[in-house]
Structures are given as C-alpha cells and as structure tokens.
Structure 1
C-alpha cells in the first residue's frame, strides 16, 4: 500500500484496495496478557509479535516483506508473492532488532539477509531505484498503477535506510558478516538519486518510468514522510544532490514553515493537505527509523524531535477531545494513520486517517510507533489493547485497523508498512539502537553536514 506524500486533503483519501467483507473472527484465538505484566515484558512481546510478520510470513523466495498478510486468506489479484520495497526496509530494521534482542539467532539472520540482498541485486531497478512493488518470485517490477511502473524513489529510500543499517551492524563482524555488509554497500551505492531531479531541477521527483518517463510528475516537497529521501540523496557517495536541492525543493524555499499552533502546541511546519491538525502519524515514523530527531536541527527547524512530538500529541489530544464522539476514543485508545479501514458499506478499504479525515478507525501502529515521542500515552494504549482487547489480536500482534465504535470491528490482516515501524521505533525509545547505527554511518554524517544539519549527540556540527 502506498503512503502518499500528499498536497491536498482530497488526495489523502486512498481508494479501496479490496472489496471483501470485514470480520471480527480471530483466526489464532489469541488471549489477553496478564494485567500485571511489566512494561519491559510487554514491549518485548509487542516487538516479537511485529517481528513475526517479517520472519514467519516473509515472501518465501526473496524472504523480503510481503505487501500484506491476511489471516482470512483473502487477497486481491492473487498477490501473495508481491513484496513491498519500503515495507521491506522497515522489515530489515525489525530483523536487526530481533537479532540485537536475541529473538532470532544471529546466524539465521545473516543467512536470510544474504538471500534478501542477493535478490535485490538481481531485481529490476530503474536508474538504480527499485519499484514500489516487486514480484518476489521473479524480481520483476509489479506496477502500482499504469504509469507507476518504474522507479519509486521514496520507497527506495525506506529500503535503503534499512540496507545501510544492516551494513553498519555487520561491517566489523566475521568474514561472512563483512561479506554481507559489502553487498549492502554495493546496493546503496547503485541508487542514482540525482537522476530523479528530472535533469537538474532543484527538487527530487518520486517516480520515473522507462515507459512513461516523468508523467507521474510528483515533486517531493515538505512536509510529509519524505525527509529521509533527501537525507540519503545528499549522503550518496556516488549520485548525490546538493544542499540547494534540499532547501529549494523539500522546504519550498522555506515556505513550508508554519506559525500555527493546535492545543497550544506549535506545529512548526505546514503538513501537506493537513495544516490544521497535522497529517497521518506515519509522517513522524517513516523517516525516523534511522534518522534520530533528538535535538536535530537544520537552517529552518530548531528541533525535529519537538516537531514530531507535537504532531503526535496533537493527534492524541484530538482523539481525547473526540469531537465526532466516536465510541472508545480516549487516553487508552487513540492514534490516526494510514491503514486498512471500514468503508461506509462495512467492507474493507484503505484510507489515510488523520484528524481532518477521521472515520472512527484507530490504527495500532500509530500509537505503538510513537513511543519515542509519547512513551506514557503509547504505553497506556499498549496495555489497554494487550490486556483488554483480545478480539483485536492475531498471530502477529494487533491487527492493522480497529474500531470500538463499530462493535469492535477489525479485519484479520496486516500490512508491512504498518507492522514494520513498530519494533524499530519502540527499540529507538528503549535504547536508540537503530538511530545509533544510521546516524554514525560515515556518509550520513557527511550528508547531514552538507545540508547544515546539526546534532551534538553525533558530533554533527
């Protein structure tokens, strides 16, 4: 499923991806955990549950992350072998968390990661950029849309972020681990970021197709989930962009700044198409799996952590205020982001939920992946869901979308892009593990300096 970097509210309403009926049947007969479970044990459990998606339910040939996993075994267009590029990047980060915490054996992870990198090396690439969807059996591009049949720079950025973290984790290991790191390095260096400036324009473009060229015409301009794309493009040792492209393109010559507040909280930037409350919460997650926002600044933003924290808190306060009076919304049940949804006719669709596009659907990844910003509020949500809502649980943890309002509606399905941010962001809250890997990569340090980013934590001045 695509998480669009949108320019208007109308574009944020994603069309339905399936037409099957919703269900509350629990296929794994999960039960609630004991209410006296410790916070640490509970975080372990939710991280292990999220890991299952990428470890147990991976696409069997490539071993990368499937676009979706449905316990009801109902799939659109027989897409069981469709892998998602961005979600696979989050999956790489999730597997690293699993290794670091001892959830999966290191040797097994290395074997699997090697297979993934070998597959990616042979898969279709478009000027070094992978497509949004790839056939996990053949490595061929699976069109996301008629003209979206080529390179997807944003999805590639999410994938590349994971590849870099794998490289950093294993680069000083034994011979096998160093060989894996070398494969990662070669994949990273093959991405032609600067091609996606459409001949040198001072902005990056999302798509390029060998058949339709630049007809998708989607410039990456803030603010949304795409910051990491510019960071990686500036950091590339082979195909980099300059600082002018970042400030003219991403920041819109600085015009993306905002002096608006909500619930007394400064918003700092204009969220594309969602300027009143801010956009879906994945905007505070995707770029920050590896990019540590803690006291991170550039020429325009004084502290990216505050920017993200305030977006999450505004979403939280909106749900607590609950102006539409949805049953269940409150301090223990909150979080709006893109996910599966319940359409008006009761069937399953897909929508980018946020306060201005609120349909009574709470998506667990929203609160769970916000742990670094709102640890208390996220823990309250986690405890409530795991101890009191077994009907929302499946084999890989909480299902993708839920609604107490609609008689405890859920759908027994998972999406890679939603599952994939949970374990990494919780780990960043617990130890900063992935942040340290990514931020200490030599090229990332140089790229951030090129763009005038500063972080005392990582000696970036």
Structure 2
C-alpha cells in the first residue's frame, strides 16, 4: 500500500514516486551475472527477452535521475550484452536463439530456452531497441562504454530479419525448431512498428522493401464514438513502439492519407478507452471518467460469474481491449502513466483517482499488472476484489520509459539520433517532422547521484 498521501504531492512529485518505484523492479529482479531480468517477480520465473530490452532502456533513466551510479548501469548493461553475444545459437533445442533472434523466455541462470517457447520476432525487436538505447547513451571514451557500443552494433547487425519473413512479405510472429514458422503473421495495427523499423533498417539482412506496406494493408480504420481511429484494442499496442520512437509529426503513407500520425492515433485511442469506460456496456464496478484502461496483463483466472444478470468469462493473463473486447472488468492501471505523453490530463486524473479510491492495489507506488473491483466481496475474493500477485517487467518498464519521455524526452531524443532508427523510418515511408531536421549529437548523460 502507498505510504505517503498522493493528494499532497505535485504532479511531478507524484510521477517521480511512480517512476522510481517501477524502476526498482529491474534492480530487484536482475541476475547481475548475465543481465537477464525476470518476466515477473513471482518466484522461480524465467527471464523475458523483451523485459531485458526495457531494462537496458531504463538504466540510462536511472543514471540521469540519480537512482543508480553510471558504473553500475554500465556493469549490468555489459553483463547482458556479453551474455547475448556469447550465448549459443542454432536450430537445436538447447540454445538461447537462432539467426540472431532469441527465444521469448530464458532460464534466469543458464540463459537457455524454457517452456518450449517460440523464437520471438517482436520480443527480439524490443530487446534490440533496448540494446540500441544502450549504444546511444553510453558514449564515454573509456573501454567499457566503447565495448557497449561495439556489442550493440554487432548484436543488431547479426539478426537475420529477411529469414524471419519466411515466404511472406510480412514478418512471421515466431519460429520453433521442430515445426518451423508459426502459422500466422502480423495482421492489423499493433505494437509491431518498432519491429518493422528495425528490420527494414538492417545494413546486412533487411526485410524486403514491400514488407511494411504489406503489413499496413491489414490495418483496420474505424469510426468509434464519433472519432476516426486506427484500431488496436489493448492500450499496449498504442504504447510499446512509442516508448522508443517519437511519432509526433512524422507520417507514413497510411497516415498521410488519413491526415493523422501515430502519436495522434495513440492520443485518440487513450480517450477511446476512457469513453468506453464511461459507457460501461457490461456494468462492471468502478468503470468511469477516471477508471479505464484495458491492456495485456494478468487476470483473475478462468471461471464464469454473473454481473448485472449477465454471465461473463473471467480470464487469466490476456490481451483485453476496448471497445470490441475482450473485457472482464480487469483494469491495467499501469496504462495511465504509459499513456501519459498522449493525454497527460486524463492520465494524471486516473492516477490520482486510483490512489484515492483504490490505495490498497498500489504497492509502495508500484502499480500491479491488473485489478478487478467487480469481484469485491465475492466468494474466493476479499473486500478489495482481485489484485494481481507480483509485478511484471513489461508493465514496469513502459511506466519508467513513458514517464521519462513525458518529463524529459530522454529516450526519444537518444533514438532520434540513431542512424538505424532514422533509416528504418525512411524505408518505411515516414517523412516530415523531426525526420526533416539534421541529426544532433547523441545524449550521453552523466551521473547526477
């Protein structure tokens, strides 16, 4: 439970508390020997390569905010980059990755594949985005920071993005050693823009020039509650790529035709979630002006129960979305700070409402993956309803990064200067805005502790 009165804090002080609490997740759940970070704080859980990407992006923020020494950030960053550089690759079972990609979940100690999981294209992209942040931030002239820059470039360039297309113009979602590529690709708008930007930018094995256009051809443009929006149900789809790339004012062919951009689309989508909660078509408890936000996250489990005389299925970990569902009354409160750059007024109001009305779900200003007030005072649940156990690295990482982009633009400015990001955006057809401006010097930061 939160220990200080949030109502007495200024907006910046409040955000500082939430951001620092989220940042602490990475220091508490990292293996310092190999830099791997657990997917969740639950006991005996494996590492997620995407969470490592978020961690590598958060360490520079920790340095700039004075939450860790620069040398400590260098140490953890090098541990991760050295591990991925030396870890076994190949088409067999007992490896870490293949073709420069990595398996979604890895054993925290050995770094080998667990759970027979897939070689994940998008999670590798999120890992690579974090690796490129590290290479952009650590610009010191000492040997250790020079090694970070070298390894970042080597790891990014060895990913065989063209292979990951299979026989399709779009990228495959995953691959397994016994069955090959998964039988589905990317369809509809989602978090994959950063995947396509990085894959098209590759100097050595880029995806085909038509890959991005083939993906955008599957987009679903909707008019919802009177607003035109490129639809992606869960809010994380409108947040993850934006954690690294500032899409405000730059447009691809699709957005030029719609006279919009992806930043504006995320703003509209954030308001759409609030409007959906206002309508509250299923009568879930708490939904309203200041309690909204459906996304991918933990849930109360697989069972059915009645709400307003209608039977609903309640799910475990799932991607919930608005307005077309699925929806079981489970709110993802980390969605508020993760959407902060797009709609600061309603996100701050939601954060303050959460602390005022549901302080029991906030663990020392660290936000849970999800909570469900509809289940309060029901059998199996206490008076507070259901609250996710433990915390998830993806949730905590997006909170740290998007609060920082709102406060200082640190990650956005670092990635604006990255030649791979600029080249990938250009090959995907993005023009205008900051892409028309010359590249400035990359931020290097300093230890303010």
Structure 1 counterpart of 2:235, from 268, 272, 281: 281
Q: Residue in 2 aligned with 1:190?
A: 158
Structure 2 counterpart of 1:304, from 249, 253, 262: 262
Uncovered stretches (5+) of structure 1, i.e. residues with no partner = 1-28, 272-277
* CA-to-aligned-CA distance 1:266-312 (integer Å, 9 cap, x gap): 11x3x4xxxxxx41000011111111111120111131111111111
**1:228 pairs with 2:194:** yes
**1:135 pairs with 2:99:** no
Inter-CA distance 428–92: structure 2 relative to 1 (3 Å threshold)? same
Uncovered stretches (5+) of structure 2, i.e. residues with no partner = 88-95, 306-313, 377-383, 439-449
Deviation at 1:109, TM superposition (A): 0.7
Within 5 Å, which residues of 2 pair with 1:67-78?
67-70=39-42, 75=43
Kept in 1, the 8 Å contact 2:19–2:403? The answer is yes
**1:88 pairs with 2:29:** no
SS at 1:89 equivalent: helix
SS at 1:142 equivalent: coil
Q: Residue in 2 aligned with 1:5?
A: none
Q: Residue in 2 aligned with 1:392?
A: 361
Kept in 2, the 8 Å contact 1:165–1:437? The answer is yes
Structure 2 counterpart of 1:112, from 55, 76, 81: 76
SS at 2:233 equivalent: coil
Kept in 2, the 8 Å contact 1:327–1:405? The answer is yes
**1:202 pairs with 2:169:** yes
Q: Residue in 1 aligned with 2:228?
A: 266
SS at 1:141 equivalent: coil
SS at 1:211 equivalent: coil
Inter-CA distance 411–204: structure 2 relative to 1 (3 Å threshold)? closer
Q: Residue in 2 aligned with 1:170?
A: 138
Structure 1 counterpart of 2:21, from 46, 49, 53: 49
* CA-to-aligned-CA distance 1:88-108 (integer Å, 9 cap, x gap): 212222222111222211111
**CA–CA distance in structure 2, aligned partners of residues 348 and 281 of structure 1:** 17
Within 5 Å, which residues of 2 pair with 1:371-450?
371-394=340-363, 397-407=366-376, 408-409=384-385, 410-450=387-427
SS at 2:317 equivalent: strand
**CA–CA distance in structure 2, aligned partners of residues 239 and 102 of structure 1:** 39
Deviation at 1:243, TM superposition (A): 2.5
Q: Residue in 2 aligned with 1:159?
A: 127
* CA-to-aligned-CA distance 1:368-415 (integer Å, 9 cap, x gap): 200011101110111222344331122561221112222222133211
* CA-to-aligned-CA distance 1:414-454 (integer Å, 9 cap, x gap): 11122211110111112221111112201221221122211
SS at 1:69 equivalent: coil
Q: Residue in 2 aligned with 1:459?
A: 436
**CA–CA distance in structure 2, aligned partners of residues 100 and 320 of structure 1:** 38
**1:65 pairs with 2:27:** no
Kept in 2, the 8 Å contact 1:197–1:205? The answer is yes
Q: If the length of structure 1 is used for normalisation, what is the TM-score?
A: 0.83
Q: Residue in 2 aligned with 1:20?
A: none
Within 5 Å, which residues of 2 pair with 1:229-378?
229-248=195-214, 250-252=215-217, 255-256=218-219, 258=221, 260-267=222-229, 269=230, 271=231, 278-302=232-256, 303-343=261-301, 344=303, 349-355=316-322, 356-378=325-347
Q: If the length of structure 2 is used for normalisation, what is the TM-score?
A: 0.85
* CA-to-aligned-CA distance 1:298-344 (integer Å, 9 cap, x gap): 11113111111111111111112222222211222211101111133
**CA–CA distance in structure 2, aligned partners of residues 85 and 105 of structure 1:** 24
SS at 1:301 equivalent: helix
Segment of structure 1 superposing worse, 187-196 or 177-186 = 177-186
Deviation at 1:348, TM superposition (A): 7.8
Q: Residue in 2 aligned with 1:102?
A: 66
Aligned residues: 407
